[in-house]
């Protein structure tokens, strides 16, 4: 069980440290942790946000626990050297095409949402986001038009095999939940989305037990705040999934509680909180490490098939929350280490 630990920037190291305490406490046989540099931290040390040695560590491991990347003081760098390229590069290089972003409301935390508690309390959904294609990874550039105007451009595309494999992940996830899958696209405007929809419908023939529906992304954004409880599994492309998953996290009430898995074919995966590096509170011991701790639980479940310790971690987080241990993001005043201590105590 070799786990690459890439803590990254901002609050990444603090929250990762608490997740490692939790993993170590479980005394899993064969657990081996190996650290690597990513993001702005890696750029400062090695001149690149995703140095070759970090990729080597990733390839030598069975899974990655990832903190966060992002450092606004480096935003002036050319795009290829910006901290965000670390996570984009890992996704592409390692074929991490399937991003699972669950969002559910913990009992007792319904009031944190800006939605009414009777609405937010019903949220229990999973966004399956395609992660290595779409406008994120298409050709892009800036050019000057003949009339002298500057133009930025980014190419959006999906090949049918890319859609098919993420559709399978979506349908299988739906089979393990309430057997409802909603595919989100913008097929009324985009050719990319029309092909997406056609292929998802083709794949659905293999899953007669799953009820498939389609929704335009603008409507999906609206339904997510109107009646989020109506969603179970959502499958969507890279850009729409990026936006809808942040929105879903706010419907829950805090981005500080949401974990994610980015999976390759097989069992390899990268696990990270969906929040960013939060430079405003970095280094102050204020960040809520729960999303990273829950990401470690997803790691045990998806990459190692260790359901029992994964469920134990999740139960410990829920118990700590139920006991009133809340970070600033949840309106409480528990610090990073204190939250880690509380989760360990409930483990
Ligand atoms: C995410 C983030 C990334 C993305 C950024 C950091 C490149 O927002 O994981 O959702 O856009 O995919
Ligand atoms: Mg995002």
Dist CA 109 CA 251 (whole Å): 12
Does 254 score more than 90 pLDDT?
A: no
Which structure tokens are listed for 113? 């949402």
| Residue 289: burial class (beta carbons within 10 Å; 0-12, 13-18, 19+) | buried
- Last residue of one domain, picked from the residues 228, 253, 278: 253
Mean pLDDT, residues 307-319 taken together: 97
Dist CA 184 CA 277 (whole Å): 28
Does 107 score more than 90 pLDDT?
A: no
pLDDT of 271: 98
Q: Whose CA is nearest to atom 5 of ligand 1?
A: 84
Residue 247 CB contacts under 8 Å (≥ 6 apart), including other chains? 221, 224, 225
Is residue 84 lining ligand 1, measured as CB closer than 6 Å? yes
Residue 221 shares a structural domain with residue 270: no
Distances (CA, A) of 100 to 154, 238, 339: 25, 12, 25
Residue 244 shares a structural domain with residue 116: yes
| Residue ranges making up the domain that contains 67 | 1-96+265-347
What residues are designated binding site for NAD(+)? 276-288
Is residue 102 one of the residues assigned to a domain? no
Is residue 246 one of the residues assigned to a domain? yes
pLDDT mean across residues, the chain: 96
Distances (CA, A) of 125 to 79, 179, 182, 272, 345: 33, 12, 11, 18, 29
Is residue 103 one of the residues assigned to a domain? no
Residue 255 CB contacts under 8 Å (≥ 6 apart), including other chains? 246, 249, 274, 275, 291, 329
Is residue 105 one of the residues assigned to a domain? no
Residue 229 shares a structural domain with residue 114: yes
Q: Are 63 and 4 in contact (CB under 8 A)?
A: yes
Q: Per this entry, what is the length of the chain?
A: 347
Residue 88 shares a structural domain with residue 152: no
CA of 183 to the centre of ligand 2 (A): 19
Is residue 88 lining ligand 1, measured as CB closer than 6 Å? yes
Mean pLDDT, residues 309-317 taken together: 97
CA of 12 to the centre of ligand 1 (A): 14
Q: pLDDT tens digit string along 195-216?
A: 999 999 999 999 999 999 999 9
- Evaluated on CA atoms 121, 125, 131, 133, the torsion sign reads negative
Q: What is the model's pTM?
A: 0.94
- Last residue of one domain, picked from the residues 209, 229, 253: 253
Domains contained in the chain, number: 2
Which structure tokens are listed for 331? 């309106």
Confidence of residue 30 (pLDDT cuts 50, 70, 90): very high
pLDDT of 256: 86
Is residue 325 one of the residues assigned to a domain? yes
CATH number at residue 41: 3.40.718.10
């Amino acid at each position: 069980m070799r786990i690459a630990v890439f803590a990254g920037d901002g609050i990444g190291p603090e929250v990762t440290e608490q997740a490692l305490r939790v993993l170590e406490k479980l005394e899993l046989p064969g657990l081996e942790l190996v650290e690597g540099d990513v993001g702005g931290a890696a750029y400062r040390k090695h001149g690149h946000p995703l140095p070759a040695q970090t990729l080597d560590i990733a390839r030598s491991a069975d899974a990655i626990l990832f903190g966060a990347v992002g450092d606004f003081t480096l935003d002036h760098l050319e795009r290829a050297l910006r901290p965000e390229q670390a996570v984009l590069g890992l996704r592409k290089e390692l074929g991490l095409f399937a991003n699972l972003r669950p969002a559910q409301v913990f009992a007792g935390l319904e009031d944190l949402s800006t939605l009414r508690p009777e609405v937010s309390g019903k949220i229990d959904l999973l966004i399956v986001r395609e992660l290595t294609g779409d406008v994120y990874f298409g050709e892009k550039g800036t050019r000057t038009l003949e009339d002298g105007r500057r133009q930025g451009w980014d190419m959006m595309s999906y090949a049918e095999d890319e859609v098919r494999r993420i559709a399978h992940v979506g349908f299988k996830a739906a089979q393990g939940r309430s057997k409802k899958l909603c595919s989100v696209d913008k097929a009324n405007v985009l050719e990319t989305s029309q092909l997406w929809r056609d292929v998802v419908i083709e794949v659905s023939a293999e899953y007669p037990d799953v009820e498939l529906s389609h929704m335009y992304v603008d409507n999906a954004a609206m339904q997510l705040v109107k009646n989020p409880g109506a969603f179970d599994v959502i499958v969507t492309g890279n850009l729409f999934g990026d936006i809808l998953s942040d929105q879903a996290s706010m419907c829950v009430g805090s981005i500080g509680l949401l974990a994610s898995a980015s999976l390759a074919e097989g069992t390899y995966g990268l696990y990270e909180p969906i929040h960013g590096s939060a430079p405003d509170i970095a280094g102050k011991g204020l960040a809520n490490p729960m999303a990273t701790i829950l990401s470690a639980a997803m790691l045990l479940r998806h990459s190692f098939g260790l359901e029992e310790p994964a469920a134990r971690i999740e139960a410990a987080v829920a118990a700590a929350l139920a006991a009133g241990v809340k970070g600033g993001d949840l309106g409480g005043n528990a610090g990073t280490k204190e939250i880690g201590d509380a989760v360990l105590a409930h483990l």
